[in-house]
Structure 1
Amino acid sequence: MNNFSVTGYICKDADVKNFDKAAIARFGIIIKHSERRGNETVTVSSILSLETWVKKEDTATMELLKKGKEVTVEGFFKPESYTKDG
C-alpha cells in the first residue's frame, strides 16, 4: 500500500493557486526525530514537500496551512515521471 501519516510543523505559509471550484495548496512540513549516536542523542530534521486540493468553500483548511502550525497529514506518495535528457 502507498499510504502514510505524518505529523510536523508547516515551515512557511502554503503557496495557493486558485481555480474555479477548488484550489491547490503546496507547502512543506518539518519532521523531527531523535536518534542515538553512541552516548549522544541527536535530533534530525527533514522537510517533506506536500500538496493538497481544497474546495473553495473550505476556508478552515486554508487557515491551518500557516507557518508554525502543527498538522497531521495523511495521504499517498505520487511518483513523478522522469525522462533522461528530455
Structure 2
Amino acid sequence: MSNRAVSVNPIERVERDVMPLVKMMTFTAWALLAVGLVLSLFSIESFNDRNTPLMVGIGFMVGSVHVYVIRTAIHLVHSRSVSKSE
C-alpha cells in the first residue's frame, strides 16, 4: 500500500453574472401583474369565489409579488457576495 501526495489547489471563485436573471425575473413579475390586473378587471362584476377569472387574476397578482421578492433576494445576495469579495 502506498501513500500518494495530493496537492490541494485553492478553490477558484467563478463569478456568476446574475443580471440577466434579475432582468428576466423583473420583466416576468411585471408581466404577471399585468395579466392578473387584466383578468381581474374584466371579471370584477361578480366578486365571489366562483368567479374563476377573478380568482386566477388574483393568483397572478400574488404570484408576481412572489417572483419579485425572489428576484430581490437573488440580487441582494449576489451584490453582498460581490462586495465582500472586494
Q: Which has the higher helix share?
A: 2
Same fold (TM over 0.5): no
Question: What is the TM-score with the length of structure 2 in the denominator?
Answer: 0.25
Of structures 1 and 2, the one with the larger relative CO (CA 8 A, separation 6+) is: 1
Structure with higher Rg: it is 2
Larger fraction in strand: 1
